[in-house]
Amino acid sequence: MNRRLQRTALWVGLPAALACLGALALRVPAAPAAWLFAWFFFLGLPLGALAVLCLHGLTGGRWGAPLRPVLRAATRTFPWLVLLGLPVLFSLDDLYPWLHPDGANPAPWYLNRGFFLARLAVYFGLWLFLIRAVPRSGGRMAAAGAILHALLVTFAAVDLIMSLMPGWYSTTFGLLVGTAEILSALALCALALHRFAPTGSVQDFHDLGNLLLTFVMIWAYIAFTQFLIIWYENLPHEIRWYLPRLQGPWAVIALAVVVFQFVLPFLLLLARRSKRHLPRLAAIGLMLLLIRMADSYWIVVPSVRPTPSWLDPLALFGIGGLWLAAFLFHLERDKATGHG
C-alpha cells in the first residue's frame, strides 16, 4: 500500500513540479511566490520533526518511542528540500524588494545579496549537521541542538519570510514559525501512525494528543499576542503586514486558520476520547496539516502579490508529491532495516 501511494505521489508531484519550474523559467509573475509558499510549508515538516526529537531527548519518556520512526523519516527528507529550495535562489529579485536599487531597504548592511546567501548557507549547513547528529546522540546533543535550532529558525524566518516586506518586523515571528513547525510535525505523526504504522498503546496516543493540544494553544497565544500588540499600537509600518491579509480572499483564509488551527482542534482535543482513539486523532492531524498549508499560504503570498493564482495549488502538489514520495521511501527503508 505504501509503495503504491509513493508511486502515486511521485507521478503527481513530478509533472506538477516541472510545470512550476517551467513557469519560473518563463518568468511568470505568480510563480516565485507559489514555489516559496509550498517549499516553506514542507520545509517546516523536517524542521519541526527535528525540534520534537530535541524535545524528546531533553525530557525522555515513552511518548517519543512510537513517534520516532515518523520523525526520523521526516528529517531525512531535508536534503531533498534543500535541492527544492534552489529555485528560490534564482527568483530572489522577483521576491525581495530590498534587492532592487530603488526598493526600500531599512538595513542594507544586513539585507544584501552576498550576506543573505552566506547566511542561508550557514543555516542549512547547520541544519544538515543537526539532523544527522541529534538522532544519533541518544539525547546528549538535545539541549545544544534545541538552542541552536531555535536560533536558526528565528533568523531563517526573518530572512526568508519577514524580509519579503522590508520595514515590517515582529519580535515573535520566529517563535511563531517554530511553534507552527512543531505543530505540523506532531500532526504528521498522528496521521502517519494511523495510516502507515499503527503501533503504540492507548497511553502513547493520549500523550500525542496532549502534545497537539499544548502546541495548538501555544501557537494561538503567540499569534494572538503578535496581532494584539501590533493592532493596538496601530503604527503604519507594523499594521501594513496585516492590512492586506484581512481583506478579500485573505480574510476568509485568516478566519479559517483561526477556526481550524485553534478553535476546533482545541475543543476536540479537550475530549479524552479524541486523544485515545487513533483514527480520531489522525483525522485531527489531517485537519491541522491542511490548515497549516493555508496558514503558510496566508503568511507568505500576500507579501509578494495581492491575489491568489492557479500556480499556488500546482506548486503545493508538485513539492508535496515529491516530499511525500521521499518521506514514504525513508519510512519504508527504516521499517525494513529495523531502524528508527
**What integer pLDDT is reported at residue 337 of this predicted model?**
63
Mean pLDDT of 59-86: 93
Which three cell numbers mark 67? Answer: 513517534
* Lowest model confidence (mean pLDDT) among 58-62, 70-74, 162-166, 332-336: 332-336
Compute the distance between CA of residue 259 and CA of residue 18 in angstroms, rounded to an integer: 34
Q: What does the pLDDT look like over 18-53, one tens digit per residue?
A: 999 999 999 999 999 999 999 999 999 999 999 999
Q: Who contacts 48 (Cβ-Cβ below 8 Å, separation ≥6)?
A: 74, 180, 181, 182, 183, 184, 185, 186, 188
**What integer pLDDT is reported at residue 51 of this predicted model?**
97
Distance set, CA 125 to CA 119, 122, 149, 250 (Å): 10, 5, 12, 35
Tell whether the model's pLDDT for residue 212 goes beyond 80: yes
Instruction: Kindly tell me the burial class for residue 256, based on how many C-beta atoms sit within 10 Å of its own C-beta (0-12, 13-18, 19 or more).
Output: middle
Tell whether the model's pLDDT for residue 16 goes beyond 70: yes
**What integer pLDDT is reported at residue 267 of this predicted model?**
96
Helix-strand-coil percent breakdown of the chain, rounded to 5? 80, 0, 20
Q: Quick one: pLDDT band at residue 198, thresholds 50, 70, 90?
A: low
Letter string b/e over residues 174-210, b meaning 16 or more CB atoms within 10 A of that residue's CB? bbbbbbbbbbbbbbbbbbbbbebbeebeeebbbbbbe
Tell whether the model's pLDDT for residue 153 goes beyond 60: yes
Number of domains making up the chain: 1
Compute the distance between CA of residue 129 and CA of residue 147 in angstroms, rounded to an integer: 14
Q: What is the largest CA-CA distance in the chain?
A: 60
Mean pLDDT of 84-107: 91
Residue keyed to cell 507568505:
300
**pLDDT greater at residue 8 or residue 104:** 8
Residue 213 carries which side chain, given as an amino acid letter? L
Q: Quick one: pLDDT band at residue 125, thresholds 50, 70, 90?
A: very high
Mean pLDDT of 89-109: 90
Q: Quick one: pLDDT band at residue 197, thresholds 50, 70, 90?
A: low
Tell whether the model's pLDDT for residue 340 goes beyond 60: no
Tell whether the model's pLDDT for residue 13 goes beyond 60: yes
Mean pLDDT of 200-215: 88
Q: Quick one: pLDDT band at residue 339, thresholds 50, 70, 90?
A: low
Q: What does the pLDDT look like over 272-297, one tens digit per residue?
A: 998 988 899 999 999 999 999 999 99
Residue 63 carries which side chain, given as an amino acid letter? W
Of all residues in the chain, the percent with pLDDT exceeding 90 is: 79
Compute the distance between CA of residue 83 and CA of residue 103 in angstroms, rounded to an integer: 29
**What integer pLDDT is reported at residue 92 of this predicted model?**
96
Tell whether the model's pLDDT for residue 216 goes beyond 70: yes
Mean pLDDT of 168-180: 94
Compute the distance between CA of residue 164 and CA of residue 162 in angstroms, rounded to an integer: 5
Letter string b/e over residues 80-118, b meaning 16 or more CB atoms within 10 A of that residue's CB? bbbebbebbeebeebbbbbbeeeeebeeeeebeeeebee
Residue 11: CB atoms within 10 A of its CB come to: 12
Residue 263: CB atoms within 10 A of its CB come to: 12
Nearest alpha-carbon partner for 43 in 69, 82, 8, 4: 82
Mean residue pLDDT of the chain comes to: 93
Tell whether the model's pLDDT for residue 139 goes beyond 70: yes
Question: Which DSSP helix (H) or strand (E) runs through 97?
Answer: none
Query: Could you tell me if 321 and 9 are in contact, meaning their C-beta atoms sit under 8 angstroms apart?
Result: yes
Mean pLDDT of 201-222: 92
Range of the domain at 213: 2-337
Mean pLDDT of 245-262: 96
Work out whether the CA dihedral 152, 153, 154, 160 comes out positive or negative.
positive
Mean pLDDT of 162-170: 92
